């Protein structure tokens, strides 16, 4: 299951890569890169981001091992290496220098200004929603209507 980080911050830059088909499984169902990552119990968007940061050859090798794991070779089918090279084409590549890699925190790339602002806005919205939800019914006190007698005068 994707975490909140991947849903709000990675936008759609990895969609084409994650939705690409690895091939057909034995039962006839298509196997996508996203479903292969999910079967490994890793967040597909984080894994795509991690692969895009690696040197192209290393990322292709890792993807090749994933393909070999989930897609056994069939006669007349492309090799895992050929499939991995095809799948790597839509993956945004941004191999960084050693200096910029030091700016990462626990393996995650530093957030851009836009991502930081978006996250702050979402968190502020949630904070306001929680405050108003907690104060809701208790903060509104009903006003008693003035009592009247049968003639209509107010006492």
Instruction: Give the DSSP per-residue string, 18-67.
Output: HHSEEEE-TTS-EEEHHHHHHHTTS-HHHHHHHHHHS-HHHHHHHHHHHH
Based on the structure, what is the number of domains in the chain? 1
Q: Does some domain include residue 120?
A: no
d(CA 31, CA 33): 7
Residue 40 lies in a domain: yes
Structure tokens at 24: 């057909």
Query: Which secondary-structure segment (H or E) carries 144?
Result: none
- Give domain status of residue 133, yes or no: no
Give the structural domain span for 65: 4-95
Asked if the structure places residue 69 within a domain, the reply is yes
pLDDT of 98 reads: 41
Tell me 11's DSSP state: T
142 in a structural domain: no
User: Block means of pLDDT (10 residues each) for the chain, length 155 residues?
Assistant: 51 80 82 88 88 89 85 66 85 58 49 82 91 72 65 59
The single residue listed with the structure tokens 């492309």 is 78
In a domain, 82, yes or no: yes
Q: Count the neighbouring beta carbons within 10 Å of the beta carbon of residue 17.
A: 21
> Is 145 part of any domain?
no
pLDDT at 123 (0 to 100): 93
| Residue 58, in any domain of the structure | yes
**pLDDT of 154:** 58
pLDDT at 142: 65
Q: What is the pLDDT of residue 126?
A: 92
Beta carbons within 10 angstroms of residue 72's beta carbon:
12
Residue 28 confidence (pLDDT): 79
Q: What is the pLDDT of residue 102?
A: 44
Query: What is residue 108's predicted lDDT score, i.e. its pLDDT?
Result: 53
């Amino acid at each position: 299951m994707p975490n909140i980080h991947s849903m709000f911050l990675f936008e759609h830059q990895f969609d084409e890569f994650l939705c690409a088909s690895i091939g057909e499984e034995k039962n006839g169902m298509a196997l996508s890169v996203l479903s292969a990552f999910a079967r490994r119990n890793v967040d597909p968007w984080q894994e795509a981001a991690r692969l895009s940061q690696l040197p192209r050859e290393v990322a292709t090798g890792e993807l090749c091992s994933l393909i070999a794991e989930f897609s056994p070779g069939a006669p007349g089918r492309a090799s895992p290496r050929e499939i991995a090279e095809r799948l790597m084409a839509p993956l945004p590549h941004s191999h960084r220098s050693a200096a910029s890699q030091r700016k990462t925190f626990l393996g995650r790339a530093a957030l851009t200004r836009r991502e930081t602002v978006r996250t702050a806005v979402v968190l502020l919205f949630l904070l306001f929603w929680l405050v108003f939800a907690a104060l809701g019914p208790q903060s509104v006190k009903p006003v008693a209507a003035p009592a009247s007698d049968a003639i209509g005068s107010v006492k």
